[in-house]
């Protein structure tokens, strides 16, 4: 039995499925997700029987660019392992269509107690990769 209020799935509508699958697919695979299902206008990624992420494009998707600053979902935050693992993701991310946001405050853009990377893909979707060993920023 699942607990009420638990996340079942997240569906992200995209204008370019192939591009989204290249960037999001790489990231989700690095975080331990596997393809559950693939169809002409989408792909779902999951870890075991738990929540899953769907990337979907099709005739119902409005032909407009995503803007994380408009009303709607701003970003998705995912646990990404240790600080070392977050740093490795940040280093590899540009080759897969991601760029680092808030570089001047990285990795503490969320505050001194929150070690995370904020990445944006080529289509404006943001993901926050949170370190499990976040802790306070060290001072020189």
**DSSP character for 18?**
H
Q: Which residues of 73-98 are buried (b: 16+ CB within 10 A; e: fewer)?
A: eeeeebebbebebbbebbeebeebbb
Give yes or no for residue 132 having a pLDDT over 60: yes
pLDDT digits (tens, 9 = 90+) for 64-110: 888 988 888 899 999 999 999 999 999 999 999 999 999 999 999 99
pLDDT digits (tens, 9 = 90+) for 27-64: 999 999 999 999 999 999 999 999 999 999 988 998 88
Q: What is the dihedral of CA 55, 61, 66, 68, to 10 degrees?
A: -70
Q: ∠115-14-125 over CA atoms, to 5°?
A: 20
């Amino acid at each position: 039995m699942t607990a009420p209020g638990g996340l079942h799935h997240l569906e992200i509508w995209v204008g370019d499925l192939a591009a989204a699958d290249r960037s999001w697919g790489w990231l989700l695979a690095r975080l331990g997700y596997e393809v559950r299902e693939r169809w002409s206008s989408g792909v779902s990624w999951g870890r075991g029987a738990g929540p899953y992420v769907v990337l979907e494009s099709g005739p119902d998707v409005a032909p407009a660019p995503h803007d994380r600053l408009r009303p709607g979902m701003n970003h998705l935050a995912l646990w990404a392992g240790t600080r070392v693992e977050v740093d490795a993701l940040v280093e590899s991310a540009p080759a897969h269509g991601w760029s680092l946001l808030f570089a001047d405050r990285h990795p503490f853009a969320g505050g001194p107690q929150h070690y995370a990377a904020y990445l944006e893909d080529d289509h404006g979707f943001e993901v926050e990769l949170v370190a499990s060993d976040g802790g306070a920023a060290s001072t020189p």
